[in-house]
Amino acid sequence: MSTAVETSQAHAAGEAEIATFYVGNQLMGVNIQQVQEINRHVKVTAVPHALDCVRGVINLRGEVVTVVDLRTILGLEQTEISDQSRNVIVKSRDEKIGLLVDRIADVESIRTEETEPPPANVSGVDGRFFKGIHKLESELLVILDVEEVLSTEGNEP
């Protein structure tokens, strides 16, 4: 037990790589460890009577994967699909889930100790979805709490 805690602390103090993307005009990111792959948003099968945030399901090499609209979850209007739309496939509680984002950006290496706790709200989005905020040279990077984003409770109005 004690060793596990130590490693995670060591990790927290070190560097982390964050896969970043835009949701609206806001740069957001998740730890690259959690990202399985990033796909074009292609053929999605709509799921009737599902939660509003569910865009549908896709065939990811034989696996049926749910795609959720990150914008809807964050309380913004629905994402409009464009050439730049991407699904960021993350692994959460042993399930692969696609996060639909507007546009993908770089992988940023950040020093975790420089991450600041999130304010109550960023560009109109509830702060509970954020793990922290990181100041990049040109803009702010919001680091998402994937589990909170994908929680099926309380995200729906």
Looking at the Cβ atoms of 65 and 141, the one nearer to other proteins is 65
Contact 129, 110 (CB under 8 A): no
- For other proteins, the binding residues in 21-60 under the rule CB under 8 A are 43, 45-51, 53-54, 56-59
Q: Which is closer to other proteins, CB of 25 or CB of 61?
A: 61
Query: Using the rule CB under 8 A, which residue among 6, 37, 95, 116 binds other proteins?
Result: 95
Q: Is 12 in the site for other proteins (CB under 8 A)?
A: no
Considering only 68, 89, 110, 142, the residue that binds other proteins (CB under 8 A) is 68
Q: Cβ 130 to other proteins, closest distance in Å?
A: 21
Please name the residue that has the structure tokens 């509830």: 126
In 14-76 the beta strands, taken as DSSP E runs, fall at 15-23, 26-31, 35-40, 54-60, 63-69
CA distance 19 to 45: 26
When asked if residue 64 is in the footprint of other proteins (CB under 8 A), the reply is yes
From candidates 9, 33, 121, 152, binder to other proteins by CB under 8 A: 152
Number of H helices, E strands in the chain: 3, 12
Nearer to other proteins among residue 40 and residue 93 (C-beta): 93
Q: Which is nearest to 142 in space by CA: 114, 120, 118, 126?
A: 118
What's the rounded Cα separation, in Å, for the pair 52 and 140? 28
Q: Footprint of other proteins on this chain (CB under 8 A)?
A: 43, 45-51, 53-54, 56-59, 62-66, 68, 93, 95, 97, 150, 152
